Amino acid sequence: MKVNGTHYRSIWFDHDLSEVRIIDQRWLPHRFEVVSLTTLDAFATAIRDMWVRGAPLIGATAAYGMAIEMARDASDAAMNHAWDKLHTTRPTAINLKWALDRCRAALLPLPVDERAGAALQLAHEIADEDVEINRNIGLNGLEIIRQIAARKPAGEPVRLLTHCNAGWPATVDWGTATSPMYHAFEEGIPIHVWVDETRPRNQGAMTSWELGSHGISHSYITDNAGGHLMQQGMVDMVITGTDRTTATGDVCNKIGTYLKALAARDNGVPFYVALPSPTIDWTVRDGVAEIPIEDRPEREVTFALGKLTDGTIGEVQVAPDGSPGGNPAFDVTPARLVTGLITERGVAEASEAGLAKMFPDLKGRAQ
Ligand SMILES: CSC[C@H]1O[C@H](OP(=O)(O)O)[C@H](O)[C@@H]1O
């Protein structure tokens, strides 16, 4: 998407530098910084410490990390070591394993001297596929927004609520939950987006930054305001991303998503999830019981990172000295609370049958 008039993907290969470039999201929205990742360790650090984040982007980054390692050492041992090192960076988003497995399956059968080139080409393909998947999720989500708009007086905005950042910084481009918003905006459908701040990493600030950069009307609200807004009839639909969706339609997403889904159900507000097919884990049926929930550092909760009054970026301690923090980074929304899964192929029912019907060619695939 565009930043100050310049189009960016969140990750790309700079052919002049012959380096992989990323937007270092640790400093967004206050500082826009592009850095290169040139070693396997740098890729692992970037994923683990959320220089890059978001399920689809984590997968694409892992693929480029594999490619950079193959350029250094394309042996089986190096490939397996890279797989292990990258896979252990973050446990919840299934796109990480999906991308690494896809790379290893494609590269292992190749002669060693062909692997580096093939790995880079595959990373490009995974990135390009993500862009097209997300563009199509946007078109399928646009239809829902159109239907809501048609039921409103002319000019009255469709009011969407979203949680965390499932926007273009969480993917290679377009975003997943934000893609329908961009398509609606381009079509001239008036929308307003309630953006949950999403403690503790405040990815909602990123969503507000990207929507604001695109001229989309939005409000940056506290995490706890969403239920009240729904109760007051101020939300027409909720749309979030997902880090792992089970074969039965349970949705694992940023912590707090489950609470929004409960409030949406209680207030008759449709709750949609933007779901790229690589984010489906066909091997898991019970999300609450089976999906590993990342436990992140306490400091992310006991301190807050932001722009200080002198304009620099820094931390302030929000918790009292000595108070331990708890920081589960995701939760699971059971399929029964999900109105529909907006995929690149269409809107699927949040059920085993619904996903099997939408993806008959993928169901049962070992993740
Ligand atoms: C398009 S997937 C985005 C998904 O990833 C985020 O998690 P994190 O920022 O910790 O990588 C969040 O769950 C978003 O919905």
User: For residue 91, what are the CA distances in angstroms to 17, 53, 140, 328?
Assistant: 32, 13, 29, 12
**Residues placed in the known binding site for substrate:** 53-55, 90, 203, 253-254
Indicate which CATH number applies to the domain containing 79. Answer: 1.20.120.420
| Candidate from 243, 259, 343 with most ligand 1 atoms within 8 A of CB, to mutate | 243
Max CA distance (Å), the chain = 63
Tokens of residue 12, six digits:
């790309």
Helix (H) / strand (E) containing 304: strand 303-307
Q: How would you classify the pairing of strands 11-14 and 19-23?
A: antiparallel
Tokens of residue 186, six digits:
């381009």
pLDDT averaged over consecutive 10-residue blocks of the chain (367 residues)? Answer: 88 97 97 97 98 98 98 98 98 98 98 98 98 98 98 97 98 98 98 98 97 96 98 98 98 98 98 98 98 98 96 97 97 98 98 98 77
Neighbouring C-alpha atoms within 13 Å toward the C-beta of 213: 22
| Candidate from 25, 53, 252 with most ligand 1 atoms within 8 A of CB, to mutate | 53
Asked if 136 contacts 176 with a C-beta cutoff of 8 angstroms, the reply is: no
Shared-domain flag, residues 116 and 241: no
Shared-domain flag, residues 176 and 215: yes
| Candidate from 10, 242, 333 with most ligand 1 atoms within 8 A of CB, to mutate | 242
Q: How far is the CA of 337 from the centre of ligand 1 (A)?
A: 19
Asked if 232 contacts 161 with a C-beta cutoff of 8 angstroms, the reply is: no
Shared-domain flag, residues 281 and 237: yes
Q: Does the residue 202 lie in any domain?
A: yes
Q: How far is the CA of 240 from the centre of ligand 1 (A)?
A: 9
Asked if 223 contacts 161 with a C-beta cutoff of 8 angstroms, the reply is: no
Indicate which CATH number applies to the domain containing 280. Answer: 3.40.50.10470
**Is 243 a known active-site residue?**
yes
What pLDDT is recorded for position 367? 59
Q: Which atom of ligand 1 is nearest to the CA of 240?
A: 15
Which is nearest to 218 in space by CA: 293, 47, 327, 229?
229
Shared-domain flag, residues 167 and 112: no
Bridge partners (DSSP) listed for residue 331: 253
Q: Which atom of ligand 1 is nearest to the CA of 177?
A: 1
Ligand 1 — pocket residues by CB below 6 A?
53-56, 164, 166, 170-171, 176, 203, 240-241, 243, 253-254, 329
Catalytic-role residue among 243, 250, 281, 331: 243
Which residue's alpha carbon is at the smallest distance from atom 4 of ligand 1? 54
Shared-domain flag, residues 299 and 205: yes
Number of other residues whose CB lies within 10 A of the CB of residue 336: 11
> Which residue, of 98, 128, 158, is where some domain finishes?
128
| Residue 15 dihedral angles phi and psi, to the nearest 5° | -70, -25
Asked if 112 contacts 119 with a C-beta cutoff of 8 angstroms, the reply is: no
Bridge partners (DSSP) listed for residue 37: 20
Shared-domain flag, residues 68 and 145: no
Please tell me the total count of domains within the chain: 2
> Which residue, of 80, 107, 128, is where some domain finishes?
128
Shared-domain flag, residues 254 and 286: yes
Neighbouring C-alpha atoms within 13 Å toward the C-beta of 363: 14
Shared-domain flag, residues 105 and 175: no
User: pTM for the complete prediction?
Assistant: 0.98
Shared-domain flag, residues 185 and 78: no
Q: How far is the CA of 170 from the centre of ligand 1 (A)?
A: 6
Q: Does the residue 62 lie in any domain?
A: yes
Which residue's alpha carbon is at the smallest distance from atom 5 of ligand 1? 54
Q: How far is the CA of 253 from the centre of ligand 1 (A)?
A: 7
Q: How far is the CA of 214 from the centre of ligand 1 (A)?
A: 20
**Residues placed in the known binding site:** 53-55, 90, 203, 253-254
Shared-domain flag, residues 192 and 324: yes
Give residue 21's domain range: 2-128
The sign of the torsion formed by the CA atoms of 246, 349, 358, 135 equals: negative
Q: Does the residue 363 lie in any domain?
A: no
Q: Which atom of ligand 1 is nearest to the CA of 50?
A: 11
Shared-domain flag, residues 167 and 122: no
| Residue 356 dihedral angles phi and psi, to the nearest 5° | -65, -35
Which residue's alpha carbon is at the smallest distance from atom 15 of ligand 1? 241
Instruction: For residues 105 and 118, give the distance between their C-alpha atoms in angstroms, rounded to a whole number.
Output: 12
Instruction: For residues 235 and 237, give the distance between their C-alpha atoms in angstroms, rounded to a whole number.
Output: 6
User: For residue 292, what are the CA distances in angstroms to 91, 240, 244, 252?
Assistant: 6, 19, 10, 9
Q: Does the residue 24 lie in any domain?
A: yes
Tokens of residue 293, six digits:
């929930």
Q: Does the residue 364 lie in any domain?
A: no
Q: Which atom of ligand 1 is nearest to the CA of 274?
A: 1
User: For residue 2, what are the CA distances in angstroms to 77, 117, 214?
Assistant: 40, 30, 7
The length of the chain in residues reads 367
Q: Does the residue 133 lie in any domain?
A: no
Quickly list H helices, the chain: 40-48, 55-72, 76-87, 95-107, 112-150, 179-187, 203-213, 226-231, 257-266, 287-290, 299-302, 352-358
Asked if 238 contacts 211 with a C-beta cutoff of 8 angstroms, the reply is: no
Q: Does the residue 28 lie in any domain?
A: yes
Q: Which atom of ligand 1 is nearest to the CA of 163?
A: 15
Shared-domain flag, residues 334 and 200: yes
> Which residue, of 102, 128, 154, is where some domain finishes?
128
